[in-house]
């Protein structure tokens, strides 16, 4: 007698990065299509979004972690229980990219997997004149050296926010038949045409 295996319909997306890089802003843009320019220090917040896909309810838990290294136990638990990870830096802050490198090492150590489900997000590309981090250099490091997905975004201008979340969902263990339905969510897609930064589209959702 075979025992049916219950398919996973509840996932945890963990946002990690230095303080002030826009983790909370990206999450709020995705969930509420809003942007608040004021930075508020986050300790840890959990946001939950539910979808009805046919007869199946899919729950996406988004963990917004602290940018401070003052909460190592909390960060460790978030990594251990996470299904996919967004490592966020700001394109005008090279130090925040160094933080991403350290966080990636921590994820790989805790997950014991060098191919851990990670999407690296370079946020704040609306700050054109203040950019200090080359997208070409980060693209090469993330995709060629690390074999992860790289996205550049702007929570302020709503550029590549939905795409970043869809890339994260592709890294989870959700049943494959549920992913296309989730990818049809269009509420936060920008209407205006814009030149989006390079993205790796391998295994990504088709958003048309």
Span 7-43, pLDDT tens digits: 678 899 999 999 999 999 999 999 888 888 876 766 6
Instruction: Please tell me the number of Cα atoms within 13 Å of 65 on its side-chain side.
Output: 27
Q: Is residue 53 part of a domain?
A: yes
Taken in order 204, 147, 79, 123, the sign of the CA dihedral is negative
* 86/187 Cα distance (integer angstroms): 21
pLDDT of residue 123: 97
Q: What is the CATH number of the domain that holds 143?
A: 3.40.50.300
β-strands 84-90, 56-65 pairing: unpaired
pLDDT of residue 143: 95
Q: Is residue 3 part of a domain?
A: no
H helices within 50-154, ranges in order?
72-81, 94-111, 135-139
Domain of residue 113, residue span: 10-183
The answer to whether residues 43 and 169 touch, using CB atoms and an 8 Å cutoff, is: no
pLDDT of residue 190: 37
For 151, other C-beta atoms within 10 Å of its C-beta total 28
Q: In total, how many domains does the chain have?
A: 1
Q: Is residue 197 part of a domain?
A: no
β-strands 10-17, 56-65 pairing: parallel
Q: Is residue 4 part of a domain?
A: no
Query: Would you write out the chain's pLDDT as a tens digit for each of its 208 residues?
Result: 444 445 678 899 999 999 999 999 999 999 888 888 876 766 678 999 888 777 788 889 999 987 766 678 888 999 999 999 999 999 999 999 999 999 999 999 999 988 999 999 999 999 989 999 999 999 999 999 999 999 999 999 999 999 999 899 888 877 766 665 665 543 433 333 344 454 544 333 332 2
Token digits of residue 139: 């693209």
Q: Is residue 46 part of a domain?
A: yes
Task: Write the pLDDT tens digit of every residue in 145-160.
Answer: 999 999 999 999 999 9
Q: Is residue 204 part of a domain?
A: no
Give the DSSP H/E element, type plus range, for residue 157: none
Token digits of residue 182: 């989730």
Q: Is residue 198 part of a domain?
A: no
Token digits of residue 29: 């843009």
Q: Is residue 81 part of a domain?
A: yes
């Amino acid at each position: 007698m075979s025992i049916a295996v219950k398919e996973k319909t509840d996932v945890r997306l963990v946002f990690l990065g230095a303080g002030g890089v826009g983790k909370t802003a990206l999450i709020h843009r995705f969930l509420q299509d809003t942007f608040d320019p004021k930075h508020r220090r986050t300790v840890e917040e959990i946001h939950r979004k539910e979808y009805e896909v046919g007869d199946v309810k899919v729950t996406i838990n988004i963990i917004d972690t602290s940018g401070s290294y003052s909460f190592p136990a909390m960060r460790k638990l978030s990594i251990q229980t996470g299904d996919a990870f967004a490592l966020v830096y700001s394109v005008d802050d090279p130090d925040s990219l160094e933080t991403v490198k350290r966080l990636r090492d921590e994820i790989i150590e805790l997950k014991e997997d060098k191919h851990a489900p990670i999407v690296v997000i370079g946020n704040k590309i609306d700050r054109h004149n203040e950019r200090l981090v080359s997208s070409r250099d980060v693209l090469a490091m993330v995709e060629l050296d690390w074999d992860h997905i790289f996205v550049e975004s702007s929570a302020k201008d709503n550029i590549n926010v939905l795409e970043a979340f869809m890339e994260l969902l592709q890294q989870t263990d959700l049943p494959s038949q549920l992913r296309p339905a989730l990818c049809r969510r269009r509420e936060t897609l920008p209407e205006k045409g814009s030149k989006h930064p390079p993205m790796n589209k391998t295994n990504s959702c088709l958003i048309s």
